[in-house]
Structure 1
């Protein structure tokens, strides 16, 4: 029997959820949980509590939760690069940064064409070392998740950092508020969420899909899926190409053809998810005030190839 938190919409979803497996609450006490990233070598998960300006750490061995960093610049999205380093989106610093193996912090991107970025939101590293990130204005819209300021760029774009030159290039400029992003298993496709409905009446609340060329340029951009509850924010892709995305009532699972096949109901708005665990079959869920987790019969993609 499936646990009540699983909602099967399409029979294809049944293969990914297992009987008697339930969702666990690992921690409560955040104001807005975001940006989860799992480090397999150390078996811990980091995630952001943006309004409280801290990064939290969940130790998968002991189950303990602690503050990894405090007063750190209102971090949002995180990822790990192929060398195992933490790559972060900082609202207050208005930059994408990387923590080196010696603990020092390197700024990877803070400007585009001489103008300060808005507030980098989510980030992913491709296997070739290129870094892709979204830059809406959420961190400069108020004092709640950063420092209120006007956008110098005057737009919310998606950017790519070249792995050799470090050059920052705008790869998508027709978004209202680009948000979460993730590659398909073979990295031929890039999925990007647009949460523009937060700023524009009847604005976008969807995920678009782009073809990725060898030179890093994007083409296409058709709408892949429209949210049926709340907004899509952050998401991850499994090895079968399914999208596991945040939504207003939990986590929604979309098949590669764009069909909504099932849900994991949380009772809280979900901001982001991450596959982790030693087999990458444990889905960590950042659900507003809490960190949840559930084991699935699938595995998340990894950029460590």
Structure 2
């Protein structure tokens, strides 16, 4: 049985009929935040409820990278190759320096504690962009239940450390990704906990370093768009309730990779950034594609 659903013939060129969806590891509680370290030949990802950052090394398997992890969620790498992490438990964004020490990049805004930083990307100018929904403080499952002090915003941190709320009209911003040329920013809004909010992916044009709304780009169904990534041709790949969806730059759904668990997040990796790593509820999956991811090594 094929793991692909082709809705646009062009998607047939993106997938390889003899490349199977592989379950690389399972038995976790809720996995998130995959990031590929090409120079180390490994993938890092979070098991949030178990307070761990795990490492998957092809040919070796799973090991623990950091425990406790302060209930880390999303991760990325900066232009110097350092790990940048969103931590629910400490309500902060951190950077792991090359010597292993940890630097706090942001934990508050205008004197108030952040909610629970969720996902993060680094732009080529060195600015760090992250989403701050309230999911990690809504219960004790993915962190610590706490009062919400700030709206659920998207923030930009300049290289000099200045932090700014650049998008303030979201219910709960979640995954985010820049287009390959960084002229567009995509942000998934998954809605507030216990509320029946609309859920969709919005698109913004980047003008003088600031995002300008271009409206709703795409609505995922079934499920919601959580983690998102672009490939080098500007197609957007998104988590969904039935797997991973590939969305063309004009917003139409091209096809799906069907996954037997609810997908939380994705990233491209492997020797040519042609493998898609998928975190899905209790398991880590991977599939080889005829695509190349738009991200740092």
Q: TM-score, normalised by structure 1?
A: 0.95
Three-state SS of the structure 2 residue aligned to 1:143 is: coil
- For residues 42-81 of structure 1, what are the structure 2 equivalents within 5 Å? 42-60=40-58, 62-81=59-78
- What residue number does 2:221 align with? 228
Count of residues in correspondence between the two structures: 297
Q: What whole-Å deviation, never above 9, does each CA across 1:145-194 have from its counterpart, x for those lacking one?
A: 001001111x100000001x211100100000000000001000000000
Matched residues in 2 for 1:100 and 1:278: separation? 24
Indicate which of 81, 89, 94 corresponds to 1:92: 89
Matched residues in 1 for 2:293 and 2:60: separation? 21
Tell me, yes or no, if the aligned pair for 2:138 and 2:193 is still in contact at 8 Å.
no
- What residue number does 2:157 align with? 161
Q: What whole-Å deviation, never above 9, does each CA across 1:9-67 have from its counterpart, x for those lacking one?
A: 1111111001211111100011111000000001000000001111110012x231111
Indicate which of 6, 9, 32 corresponds to 1:8: 6
Aligned-pair CA distance for 1:221? 4.0
Matched residues in 1 for 2:11 and 2:274: separation? 15
Aligned-pair CA distance for 1:213? 1.9
- What residue number does 2:267 align with? 274
Matched residues in 2 for 1:300 and 1:59: separation? 19
Tell me, yes or no, if the aligned pair for 1:249 and 1:265 is still in contact at 8 Å.
yes
Task: Give ranges in structure 2 of 5+ residues lacking alignment.
Answer: none
- For residues 108-119 of structure 1, what are the structure 2 equivalents within 5 Å? 108-119=105-116
Moved over 2 A (4+): 197-200
Matched residues in 1 for 2:192 and 2:295: separation? 30
- What residue number does 1:175 align with? 170
Tell me, yes or no, if the aligned pair for 1:88 and 1:98 is still in contact at 8 Å.
yes
CA RMSD of the aligned region, Å?
A: 1.0
Aligned-pair CA distance for 1:198? 4.1
Three-state SS of the structure 1 residue aligned to 2:136 is: helix
Tell me, yes or no, if the aligned pair for 2:16 and 2:290 is still in contact at 8 Å.
yes
Three-state SS of the structure 1 residue aligned to 2:263 is: coil
Aligned-pair CA distance for 1:8? 0.4
Tell me, yes or no, if the aligned pair for 1:127 and 1:303 is still in contact at 8 Å.
no
Matched residues in 1 for 2:173 and 2:64: separation? 28
